[in-house]
Structure 1
Amino acid sequence: MYTVCLPEEIWMIVFKYLSKSDWLKIRSCCKCFKRLIDHPSLWRSEFIVLRKLRSFNDGFWKTLRRRTQANVRVVNVNGRHWDIIVKNLPWLKAVIIEFTDGRTVDSDVLANLNRLTKLKMLVIQSFDHAGLVKKLPSMSQLEHLSFCLLPSSIGPNLLEILSQLSNLTSLHYHEGRSHTPKHIFHAMLNGLPKLRNLSIRWCFNNSWCVPLPDDYFGYAGTALDSSGRGDFALTSLELLNYTDPLLSPVALDHLPLLEKLTVNYHRGATHRNTCHLKGWLRSLSHLTELAVNYSQPLGVYADTLPTTLRKLSLSGTWAEPEDLVTVKRTVPDLLHLNYSPFVYNPHNFSEIPKAFNKLQSLQIRYHGLCAKDLAGLGGMQHLKRLVITAAPADHSAISSELLTQVQMLRAHGVQVVLTQGGSDEEQFFICHPC
């Protein structure tokens, strides 16, 4: 009975520091904890996975209703199952639909979505044929839309649907068997006046040999206003499965207000003598975040990094110590660094405390890390957070010397997180692989 000695508000704060698996264990302790764990405030931003709906009884749905569950990831369900979901959770705000059994979304599922009047985010894994797009309901309240498009003839139909989504601020447009022609792409984006975040994924095939037009992103025909912004102003762009020379060196000149850029190169398809990223960076004077995965060596484009950068992520990229010195010279005020190279180099790591003494957060890979490396971080006065990530297949134990250095960093006020697989946060990645 000592649990009631603390105010419920304190318990709620404590629970927010625990994982969802811990919540379920605590929930079974007593009626008091069961009621607190089911409080809607704990589940407001949490996704739950719904699959095999036949095994869910009335008590399960009653629990979800009590939590006012607003975010669901639905796996391998049909139209009849969707009817049950919508009846029990009509207030859903975020829905992710995926199939792991080879099936694709059907028209019955799409018809039920129109009943979710509060839906803000919709993620659909794939379509079976272009005609299904016409059956997508009109949901003008949507703010985020993400899907993988398989048919090559889907463009015109998609354009008709997107023209109704005037409140869309984020679009993940993952291509199918061929690239969307420029005139359809421009018409699609011009119909989305509030769009700020765009993610594009291309299919790797023979069409990569044909570069897209220089003005592929030149869809914004409105002049900028006095504040430097116009009606069409992307602030975040993500290019997935990319390789040069699909986009020209001047392709991003049409997006001068870009603040965040992510480029995930197609592994094994990088052209050794071509790096258009170097040209893109020269025109992005507002860029504050850059993430580059599996690119050419850092030295190829390090001297063109914008001075406005505050967050830099480098994964699977070859770098020499002198490249990090170049980054320090071009980006003197870098605050956040994620450094996960192909091959661990102790000389590179020892350069980080000297080159980036203003860092507030640092994320690094565990493989090859030693206690001496961490000891060098002790002199970084502004470092507040250190994330050490182990690869999913790396099951080697962390040495006692390394753990000792971790404890010393924590004693100096640094939050040290040891995690597996690339992220220390439980979240669902809404960019589905096609």
Structure 2
Amino acid sequence: MNNQQLSAATFLLTDQDDYSADQERLNRAIMQFIKDHWHHDEHAVFVLTGDAGTGKSAAIARTFSHIQRLARQKSGFLAGSQNNLLVNHQEMLKIYQEVAGADTVLHKKDFAKPTPFINDHAKTGVRNDITFVDEAHLLLTQPDRFNRFDQHNQLTEIIRHSRVVVLVFDPHQVLKLKSYWDWPRLHAVIDHYPHQIFDLSHQFRIKGAQTVADWINAFTAGQILPIPATDHYDFHVYTDGTPLYQHVRMVNQRHGLARMLATADFPFTVFGNKTWYVHAGSLRLPWDKINMTSTPWAQLPKTINEVGSIYTIQGFDLNYAGIVLGPAIGYDPHTQKLQIHLDQYQDTEAFKNRSDIPDLAQAKTQIIRNSLNVLLKRGRLGVGIYATDPNLRQALIEAAQESGRP
């Protein structure tokens, strides 16, 4: 698979996509930040933030590649420097390593998950020079024996073992309590060090339709606005899951990378041989299985017959996303607001209790809203929605009719 195919299938920009002025400015800002702190003994942290789809991962991947090119030259201030890019997301790690295999500058060992990086550096005591962290909002904020992380905060440990840290942070993509982040929690870590925060705003993923991104932002906050009418984005509401799935299959045949996705409020287990299903009206499709291959889920042809989850698809681009909103996402016709039913959410791993979060119900509610944000912003060319809750389904249909959309 060449870089063009990889780009079309992932968070990376294709060759036809120009980098925004913000991204060019970001690259210069990161390089200047590194130079400013290169000869200091203290640690320093550069934070990149921005909405889903603004090209954060693509931008830091480009900058990291540039840094590694300089690190592997014989001269220059970065020559011989030891640098890594970390991501706590197995499917995204596959893409980074796949890109490295097709690149003469990057090596697969340049990319790793946070826990092995932390544990290795704790043993050797050797400090990394520059550590990039993609999807830093997935870093653990408590010990996790399953992941072999015994300390209390992965970001704190990464900073401890690095001269400069460059991280991507979006609190609206936090999906588990064990990696619960918000801006106050981030500042509690980075305010101990020199730091800079850079915001990206240009929307890359949702093609030509900022109004769609604005609608999704309002929806995840609880408000249903009229569905935007745009010729540049295929945005429809469905009264049943079967026609939605048929449309996904049609788009997949024409353009590729169209998949069904759902909120995590249909029963499932991660391990075991039992097949669990997502129900959407007359539609019944199996949940995605654990992907033991080196190919990301969305690139496997057979997954057109499955339903992906937030963990499968976070950070990736699809051409079209068919979204099933499960029973945890309801609607109150009297208040005209979304209702979040915590007791209907089936992702028990996401809701493992913590004693250090004052308002646990609010944190859990925000995690479900974040999952909506992640799912609804996957489609580059379009999104289709089916809601299992009758009140929500009717409200969405009326919102579509207001703009003349089916």
Q: Determine if the TM-score, normalized by the shorter chain, exceeds 0.5.
A: no
Q: Report which of the two has the higher share of helix.
A: 2
Structure number with the bigger relative contact order (C-alpha 8 A, sep ≥ 6) is 2
Task: From the CA coordinates, give the structure whose radius of gyration is larger.
Answer: 1
TM-score, structure 1 as length reference: 0.28
